[in-house]
Copies of this chain bind each other. A is one copy, B any other.
Amino acid sequence: MPGEQISKVIASKSPSHPVGSVVRAFSGWRTHTLVSNEQAQGIGRIPEMSDLPLSLALGTMGMTGMTAYFGFLELCQPKEGDTVLVNGAAGAVGSLVGQIAKIKGCKVVGCAGTDDKCKWLKELGFDEVFNYKKVDLSEALKAAAPDGFDCFFDNIGADFTATALKHMKQFGRVSICGQMSVYNNKELPRAEYPFMLILGKQLKVEGFNVMRWYPRWAEGEKVMAQWIKEGKIKYKETITKGFRNMPNAFIGLFDGANTGKAIVTA
C-alpha cells in the first residue's frame, strides 16, 4: 500500500543518510524499508521543524500544506480585500487554504458537509460558512458573497462547481485542487458546460499537482512554520498508534471519522 512516511535511518552505507538521521519518503505501509542507492535519490529531506512535531512534515508542513500554499497563492493570486470560496473546506487542504486567505486579508467563504465541521471552520476564522447539504447552493453563495467571488479553490467539481462559477466576478481565478465528487465515477460526469461562463467572466481556471513546485517547497515550509508558531495557522491531526491499526485509520478516511490529517505512529 503506498504511503508517505517519516523514518529514522537505523543502518546506512550512504554518507548522505547517516544512521540516526530522519528522512521523508514514499516508502508505503512498512515498519522497515531497505532502500538502494538509486532509490535513495527519491528520499526527501525533512523541513526545518525546530520544535514543531515531526508528524507535521506529513501534513501542514508537508504535501498537504504545500498544496494549500502554492496551489492557492500561485494560481488564485489573492489580493487584500478579495472574496475567496473554498469547498471541502474542512479537509486537510481546504482548512489551510481558508486560513492562508485570511492571512492575506481576504474575506473567506467555506462550506462543508456536517454542522460540526462548519463550527470548526468558524473557529478557524472563516467569515461565512454553510453546510452545503442543508442549503440551496446558489442562494447560499449569493447570501455569503452578494458581489461574487474573486477566487475559488475547488476540491469538489461537477454540479457544485458549475453552480459556483455563476457566482464568480469578472477576471476571477479558479484553482482546481481536487474533484472529490468525480473520483469514483467511471466516466466523466455531464454537467452545465462551463466554458461560456469562463468566457463571459474572463475567468482563469487552472488545475495543478503540487509536485510542480517541489523545487520551491523549502520556501513554503519556512513561511508555514512561521505562521504555525505565530498561531495564524491551526491544524488538526487524527493520530492512530501502532502499525497494526493502520487499516482502521485508512477506513477512517472514507467514513468521516478523521479530522484533519490522518497520521499513524509506531
CA distance A212 to B199 in the complex (A): 13
> Number of A residues whose C-beta is below 8 Å from B?
34
Interface secondary structure of A, over-half rule = mixed
- Asked whether A192 is an interface residue with its Cβ less than 8 Å from the other chain, the reply is yes
Cα(A196)–Cα(B162), bound, Å: 13
Closest to A211 in B: B202
Q: How far is the CB of A261 from chain B (nearest CB, A)?
A: 21
A143 CB, min distance to chain B CBs, angstroms: 23
Residues of chain B lying within 8 A (CB to CB) of residue A202? 206-209, 212
In the bound complex, do residue B207 and residue A206 qualify as a contact, i.e. CB atoms below 8 Å apart? no
Please tell me how many copies of the chain the complex holds.
Answer: 2
Q: Is the CB of B195 within 8 A of A157?
A: yes
A191: interface (CB < 8 Å): yes
Contact: A192 with B190, CB < 8 Å?
A: yes
* Chain B residue with Cβ nearest A162: B193
Task: Report if A161 contacts B (CB, 8 A).
Answer: yes
A10 within 8 A of B: no
What residues of chain B lie closer than 8 Å to A191, measured between beta carbons?
190, 193
Does A189 sit within 8 A of B, measured CB to CB? yes
Contact partners of A176 in chain B: CB under 8 A:
195, 198-199
Answer whether residue A203 sits at the interface, using C-beta atoms and an 8 A cutoff. Answer: yes
14 contacts between A and B (CB under 8 A): A157-B193, A157-B196, A161-B195, A179-B195, A193-B193, A198-B205, A199-B207, A201-B207, A202-B208, A203-B207, A204-B204, A204-B205, A205-B205, A205-B206
Mark out the residues of chain A between 117 and 142 whose CB falls within 8 Å of any chain B CB in the assembled complex.
none
Nearest residue (CB) in B for A187 is: B192
Q: How far is the CB of A159 from the nearest CB of chain B, in Å?
A: 8
Give 8 closest A-B pairs by Cβ, nearest first. A199-B207, A191-B193, A198-B207, A188-B192, A205-B205, A204-B206, A176-B199, A190-B190
A154 at the interface (CB under 8 A from B): yes
